[in-house]
Structure 1
């Protein structure tokens, strides 16, 4: 699965994006592809940054892909 992660920078906050239960391959940052993609389960996306990541959906269950900063959580 391909996912584009963009921090528009409107809040000027970094967003530590985390994928539970999987690891993802970071293919590019700000349009520049990595020669050797990095494997992570969390990536800090600073204001104005954009990443393209890939991961294989091969771990059964429901998994969250979210900002790991609790201050950014929406409480209902």
Structure 2
């Protein structure tokens, strides 16, 4: 929509297209960072870190796509804690 900014980073490209993480914000974007948090080669997962300015205050928005397998999610969360 008009007045919004979309931030997108690709996590995986397949023969059917791609998938990734996205954030839609009406606040100004100050910066972005993308990290691969894949636990194994069958599921590519990522973390999108977007810094936005909300009325003069820096806010960190984290968009994460965790794995489908419980063990993968547990390991990914452990890595995020580090």
| TM-score under structure 2 length normalisation | 0.27
Larger relative strand fraction? 2
For CA contacts below 8 A with separation 6 or more, give which structure has more relative contact order.
Answer: 1
Larger Rg: 2
| TM-score under structure 1 length normalisation | 0.28
